[in-house]
Amino acid sequence: MSRGRSDDAVFDRPTEKCGVVGVSLADRDAALPTYYALYALQHRGQESAGIVTHDGFQQHQHVGMGLVGDAFDEDDVEALRGNAGIGHVRYPTAGSVDKSCAQPFSVSFKGGALGLSHNGNLVNADEVRARLADQGHAFTSDGDTEVIAHDLARNLLEADLVPAVERTMNRIHGSYSLTITHDDTVLGVRDPLGNRPLVLGELEDGYVLASESAAIDTFGGDLVRDVRPGELVVLHEDGAGYDSHQLVEEPNTAHCFFEYVYFARPDSVVDEELVYEVRRELGRHLWREAGVDSDVVMPVPDSGRAFASGYAEQAQDAGSGVEFAEGLMKNRYVGRTFIMPTQSARERAVRLKLNPIRSTVEGRSVTLVDDSIVRGTTSSQLVDLLREAGANEVHVRIGAPPITAPCYMGIDMATRDELIAADRSTEEIADEIGADSLSYLPLDAVTAAIGKSEADLCAGCVTGEYPFDVAGEESDRDAERPDVDAPADD
Ligand code: SF4
């Protein structure tokens, strides 16, 4: 089965993780708004989708495989009663690719009912799972979300809601943005380094939590703010407000810089920055750092579009006569179901997905702009396509540094062996993809464009130094793994 967003299935892309939603409304069912919000987050996961609601008496759940539109029909949404709801779209980063790992995860226990949606990846899930198994917990999946749910359920038997969440946060280690229902109370939790995004929005009759602000826009809500790293937000059951609890504080954050580069929607605001504007700014920096005079600059659609427009704007401001044009036309109907059993089928898929506009390309020097190169397979095919369409020169400009290391926070970056930049110089990569020249944007220019210091961003996949303590890898800070064997009340 293909994985990730439809372009990821065809192109050589890092694949994003999951999308989460939480909704608490005054006096209408939360399921329909949650369903619409999941549509807005579809790019964050396409393997499965699900919603859990609670009506004050009973928890309801529906999960299904595939896109949101495949996983639910009207009756499924109608059956999910209750003013409190959470939702999830999933790309599996830990655990199997089947319905047993579809989220939200739900569990009923002596202390009530829990529903839990997770975006992120725990790096100590096995240790926490083993400890809980020793204490008698039985697991139905191999995913890390169930580990969080069991740990929280256990803590809720011994403590009130806020200290119970705090205990769980002190035990789990890794990246997590969570939306949770505990009976009909909706919670949002963000990991202490804020690696994954989570925002809070206000509706006319309630509040919403979501991975990206674009989901809040879908129901005409207003973005209130980002959920802070290490914060628990508790939405009131009557939809009239929320409480904030800062449970863990770290001196620095570790926001994933790739959210700005590729994962998040351009129309989303992530940690106070509009993603589209960040991408245009990355494009401007790219011209300043590595601009090349050519006849035309064009994006790889759709991922390179904002970068290319910023690049061209900066070039024209600097007096270059470069034209900004679309040179590759996208076939929107080649989707995730396209069967690609062999390398030649995958190569054909790129040609089915993108076709050059010969008049823009023929007899001209072309600069092709994109956000990243993972394995390099797509880049070389795109260069070939442009040359076949008559380009005299093809220069490739990338709005991020070379990806040299895997991601342990759940993004599928491929293994180190598969990454084209892991053991090659930029010149060697240019040769391999057949480009006349290739330049990447250095990390300091990326941080400048994002407007955050390097100390507040995760850039592990380009530096090989991670903000979490990952076995066998370097860490760029002192974040130590929690002692999972410590007594719960420590
Ligand atoms: S390693 Fe890369 S993709 Fe993974 S969280 Fe860090 S910046 Fe994001």
pLDDT value, residue 5: 46
Type of residue found at 242: Y
Q: Please report, for residues 305, 306, 383, the alpha-carbon distance to residue 301 in angstroms, rounded to integers and kept in the order given.
A: 6, 10, 14
Please tell me the predicted confidence (pLDDT) of residue 338.
47
Query: Rounded to the nearest whole angstrom, what is the distance from the C-alpha of residue 461 to the centroid of ligand 1?
Result: 6
**Atom from ligand 1 closest to the CA of residue 459:** 7
Ligand 1 centroid to Cα of residue 205, in Å, is 36
Which of the following is catalytic: 18, 101, 256, 458? Answer: 18
Nearest CA, atom 2, ligand 1: 461
SS3 of the chain: the string is CCCCCHHHHHCCCCECCCEEEEEEECCCCCHHHHHHHHHHCHHHCCCEEEEEEECCCCEEEEEEECCHHHHCCHHHHHCCCCCEEEEEEECCCCCCCCHHHCCCEEEEECCEEEEEEEEEEECCHHHHHHHHHHCCCCCCCCCHHHHHHHHHHHHHHHCCHHHHHHHHHHHCCEEEEEEEEECCEEEEEECCCCCCCCEEEEECCEEEEECCHHHHHCCCCEEEEECCCCEEEEECCCCCCEEEEECCCCCCCCEEHHHHHHHCCCCCEECCEEHHHHHHHHHHHHHHHHCCCCCEEEECCCCCHHHHHHHHHHHHHCCCCCEECCCEEECCCCCCCCCCCCHHHHHHHHHHHEEECHHHHCCCEEEEEECCCCCCHHHHHHHHHHHHCCCCEEEEEECCCCCCCCCCCCCECCCHHHCCCCCCCHHHHHHHHCCCEEEECCHHHHHHHHCCCHHHEECHHHHCEECCCCCCCEECCCCCCCCCCCCCCC
Short-list 201, 159, 197, CA closest to 178: 197
Q: Among this protein's residues, is 407 annotated catalytic?
A: no
pLDDT of residue 455: 94
Residues 6+ apart with CB under 8 A from 238: 26
Angle at 225 between CA 223 and CA 226, to 5 degrees: 120
Ligand 1 atom closest to the CA of 175, numbered from 1: 5
Ligand 1: which of 8, 176, 407, 452 to mutate, judged by most atoms within 8 Å of the beta carbon?
Answer: 407
411 in ligand 1 pocket by Cβ < 6 Å?
Answer: yes
In angstroms, the Cα distances linking 372 to 16, 91, 282, 297, 377 are 14, 20, 12, 16, 12
How many angstroms separate the CA atoms of 264 and 256, rounded?
Answer: 10
Take atom 8 of ligand 1 and give the residue whose Cα is closest.
Answer: 256
**What pLDDT is recorded for position 322?**
94
Domains in the chain: ranges and CATH: 6-254 (3.60.20.10), 273-466 (3.40.50.2020)
pLDDT tens for the chain, 490 residues: list them: 333 444 555 566 666 579 999 999 999 999 999 999 999 999 998 889 999 999 999 999 999 999 999 999 999 999 999 999 999 998 765 555 567 678 999 999 999 999 999 999 999 999 999 999 999 888 888 888 999 999 999 999 999 999 999 999 999 999 999 999 999 999 999 999 999 999 999 999 999 999 999 999 988 999 999 999 999 999 999 999 999 999 999 999 999 999 999 999 999 999 999 999 999 999 999 999 999 999 999 999 988 999 999 999 999 999 999 999 999 998 877 654 444 556 666 667 788 888 999 999 999 999 999 999 988 888 999 999 999 999 999 999 999 999 999 998 878 777 888 899 999 999 999 999 999 999 999 999 999 999 999 999 999 999 999 998 888 888 877 656 676 666 554 3
Chain position carrying tokens 């992120």: 120
Distance CA 429, CA 449 (A): 25
* Closest listed residue to residue 52, CA positions, set 98, 114, 100, 111: 114
Q: Which two tokens stand for residue 24?
A: 């608490």
Cβ atoms of 241 and 56 within 8 Å: the answer is no
Q: Which residues contact 221 (CB under 8 A, 6 or more apart)?
A: 201, 202, 203, 208
Token pair listed for 474 = 């370097």
Question: 């739900």: which residue's tokens?
Answer: 106
Q: Give residue 20's pLDDT.
A: 97
Q: Facing residues of 112 across strands?
A: 109
Ligand 1 binding pocket includes 257 (Cβ within 6 Å) = yes
Whether 263 lines ligand 1, by a CB cut-off of 6 Å, is: no
Which one, of 457, 472, 461, 459, lies nearest residue 405 by Cα? Answer: 461
Contact 409 CB / ligand 1 (< 6 Å): yes
Q: How far is Cα 34 from Cα 358, in angstroms, rounded to an integer?
A: 44
Q: What is the CA(327)–ligand 1 centre distance, in A? A: 30
What's the confidence (pLDDT) of residue 203? 96
Structure confidence at residue 345 (pLDDT): 66
Measuring from atom 5 of ligand 1, which residue has the nearest CA?
256
Q: Scanning the structure block, which residue is given the tokens 């904030």?
A: 244
